[in-house]
């Protein structure tokens, strides 16, 4: 085994036996050979991969995809049905809130208990105790039983213990989601420090941006099977495609059900009949989008894009104040993001939007026509210009220009573009028609001799000198 390997998973599978009733479990124990009284549920199936020391790996997938099962087997708290897991080094894991804590012990006592479980001596725990207590920052509650702790206090203490033992492998499974924003910031800073010091990270989260920015590679699971293993940005995009397809299917099923129910009651409820008609039109429109030319869908599957393609993003251009296409700006200059589109079916309730990310993968901002429409509607101005209220015929081509003063810090930026159908005016129900990653790029620079600003953006501060403050 190569010395730079941290985790090796080989043909790993986990099967659970599902019994219809408790008596079947007893019958299976009494007669294990003659008859099978259970159904097999494979939580994980034939999974193989290797992780090198110091790598940060994200794990994505919907609930029930096998993420937690995989982590438990890596930690050794769950035995595989087939296959094997090899780990090299000390493992620290945040799997379930409060796991490994004795609820009747105080926080102080649990620090020593957990430290001992993780392989530290009493002296080593004493040496690190102040750092653990400072990071947890739970004050006088440290000497109270942990059963009196809130979920936030519990995860503070658990994380503080795990990271202070300087693990070779750190596993985090959604636990940080219960912490407040400041604590999460401190956690991510500590995780980044551990990674830079050579710790291997396994990070499970539904927060796609955190996975993208915190990890180098990622694993996508679906119903216990590996869907994709590779660069985090590619895996996140595929995860979005998967979520979109699930949402589309759910929308079709809901629309069909609503249509059937309303049709049955049409004779006695005109309102239900109208709702059914609306739902039927939505279903037909979605089904129509699925019959678009196969070459169109194949084209976008090869690009970093996905969607129903009821509307298609034709291109995104970055323009300067004169309307000239450019890719370089200085802070303070006017910037325009122009998104060109085509309606492939009759459309209404449209939202054209974009995101801007820096080269580190951090989402700087997002904006869309619906944001503008919501604001205009709330202020009761410009109602006739609301794009959400407009209709577009099949085949119509149109464009939206977003204009602003560039206040971004010096960096390389990516523009992601999307067009959606919004079923209400408040982002409550969304159908992705077309999403495009890496739709455009631009850079921002600073004129060093004229104006300097640090960080990701310029807030445009002014100043006033007060010579005689009170």
pLDDT in tens, 120-172: 889 988 999 998 898 888 888 999 998 998 888 888 888 888 887 778 998 88
In the chain the first and final C-alpha atoms are separated, in Å, by 69
Dist CA 173 CA 96 (whole Å): 8
| Residue 177, pLDDT score | 63
Highest mean pLDDT among 27-36, 176-185, 208-217, 308-317: 308-317
| Angle between helix 107-117 and 122-136 (nearest 10) | 130
Is pLDDT of 43 > 60? Answer: yes
Which is more confident, 21 or 264? 21
Residue 346, Cβ density class (10 Å: 0-12 exposed, 13-18 middle, ≥19 buried): middle
The pLDDT of residue 303: 59
Q: Are 208 and 59 in contact, with CB atoms under 8 Å apart?
A: no
Reply yes or no on whether the pLDDT at 320 is more than 50: yes
Residue 273 pLDDT exceeds 50: no
Phi/psi region, residue 386 (left: phi>0; alpha: psi -120 to 50; beta: rest), is: beta
The larger pLDDT score, comparing residue 148 to residue 381, is at 148
Q: What does the pLDDT read at residue 312?
A: 94
Segment 14-20 long-range contacts (CB within 8 Å, at least 24 positions apart):
14/42, 14/43, 14/44, 14/66, 14/69, 14/73, 14/78, 14/80, 14/81, 14/224, 15/40, 15/41, 15/42, 15/43, 15/81, 16/40, 16/41, 16/42, 16/43, 17/41
Distance CA 48, CA 67 (A): 14
Percent over 70 (pLDDT), the chain: 85
Q: Tell me which of 206 and 203 has the higher pLDDT.
A: 203
Predicted pLDDT at 255: 57
**Average pLDDT value for residue range 262-276:** 52
Please report the domains of the chain, with CATH numbers, ordered by start residue.
Answer: 5-238 (3.40.50.300)
> pLDDT at position 172, please?
86
CA distance 106 to 145: 4
The yes-or-no verdict on residue 49 having pLDDT over 60 is yes
Average the pLDDT over each of 157-161, 270-274, 341-345, 360-364 and give the range with the smallest value: 270-274
**Residue 289 confidence (pLDDT):** 45
Least confident of 36-50, 210-224, 245-259: 245-259
pLDDT at 345 over 90: yes
**pTM (two decimals):** 0.70
Averaged pLDDT, 417-431: 89
The pLDDT of 366-395, averaged and rounded, is 90
Comparing 81-95, 256-270, 335-349, 403-417, which segment has the lowest mean pLDDT?
A: 256-270
- pLDDT confidence of residue 2: 56
Most confident of the ranges 17-26, 386-395, 443-452: 386-395
pLDDT at 315 over 80: yes
Which pLDDT score is estimated for 139? Answer: 86
Average pLDDT of the chain to the nearest whole number: 84
Residues 6+ apart with CB under 8 A from 70: 9, 12, 44, 47, 59, 221
Question: How many residues in the chain?
Answer: 470
Q: In the chain, pLDDT over 90 holds for what percent of residues?
A: 40
**Using one digit for the tens of pLDDT, what is the confidence trace for 223-253?**
999 999 999 988 998 998 888 877 777 666 6
Asked if pLDDT for residue 299 goes beyond 60, the answer is no
Q: Supply the pLDDT for residue 269.
A: 53
Is 300 a residue whose pLDDT tops 80?
A: no
What average pLDDT does range 219-224 have in this prediction?
93
417-430 mean pLDDT: 89
The packing angle between helices 232-264 and 270-289, to 10°, is 140
């Amino acid at each position: 085994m190569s010395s730079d390997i941290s985790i090796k998973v080989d043909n790993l599978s986990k099967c659970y036996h599902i019994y219809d009733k408790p008596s079947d479990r007893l019958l299976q124990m009494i007669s294990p050979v003659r008859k099978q009284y259970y159904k097999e549920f494979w939580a994980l199936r034939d999974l193989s991969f290797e992780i090198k020391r110091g790598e940060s790996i994200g794990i994505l997938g919907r609930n029930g995809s096998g993420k937690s099962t995989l982590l438990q087997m890596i930690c050794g708290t769950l035995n595989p049905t087939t296959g094997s897991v090899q780990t090299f080094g000390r493992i620290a894991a945040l799997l379930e809130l409060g796991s490994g804590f004795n609820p009747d012990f105080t926080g102080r006592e649990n620090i020593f208990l957990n430290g001992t479980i993780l392989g530290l001596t009493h002296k080593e725990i004493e040496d690190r105790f102040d750092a653990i207590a400072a990071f947890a920052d739970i004050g006088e509650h440290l000497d109270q039983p942990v059963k009196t702790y809130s979920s936030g206090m519990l995860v503070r203490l658990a994380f503080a213990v795990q990271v202070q033992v300087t693990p070779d492998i750190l596993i985090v499974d959604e636990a940080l989601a219960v912490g407040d924003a400041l604590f999460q910031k401190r956690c991510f800073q500590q995780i980044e420090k551990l990674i830079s010091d050579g710790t291997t990270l396994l990070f499970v989260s539904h927060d796609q941006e955190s996975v993208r920015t915190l990890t180098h590679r990622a694993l996508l699971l679906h119903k216990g099977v590996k869907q994709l293993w590779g660069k985090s940005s590619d895996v996140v995009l595929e995860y979005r495609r998967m979520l979109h397809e699930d949402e589309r299917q759910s929308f079709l099923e809901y629309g069909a059900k609503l249509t059937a129910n309303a049709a049955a009651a049409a004779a006695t409820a005109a309102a239900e009949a109208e709702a059914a008609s609306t739902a039927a039109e939505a279903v037909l429109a979605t089904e129509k989008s699925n019959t678009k030319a196969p070459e169109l869908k194949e084209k976008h599957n090869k690009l970093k894009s996905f969607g129903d393609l009821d509307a298609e993003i034709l291109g995104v251009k970055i323009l300067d104040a004169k309307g000239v296409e450019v890719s370089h700006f200085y802070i303070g200059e006017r910037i325009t993001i122009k998104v060109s589109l085509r309606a492939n079916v009759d459309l209404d309730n449209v939202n054209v939007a974009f995101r801007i990310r820096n080269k580190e993968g951090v989402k700087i901002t997002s904006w869309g026509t619906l944001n503008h429409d919501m604001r205009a509607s709330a202020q009761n101005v410009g109602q006739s210009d609301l794009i959400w209220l407009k209709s577009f015929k099949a085949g119509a081509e149109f464009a939206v220009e977003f204009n602003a003063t560039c206040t971004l810090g010096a960096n390389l930026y990516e523009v992601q573009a999307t067009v959606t159908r919004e079923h209400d005016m408040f982002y409550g129900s969304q159908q992705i028609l077309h999403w495009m990653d890496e739709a455009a790029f631009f850079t921002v620079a600073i004129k060093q001799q004229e104006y300097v600003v640090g960080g990701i953006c310029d807030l445009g501060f002014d100043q006033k000198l007060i010579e005689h403050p009170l």
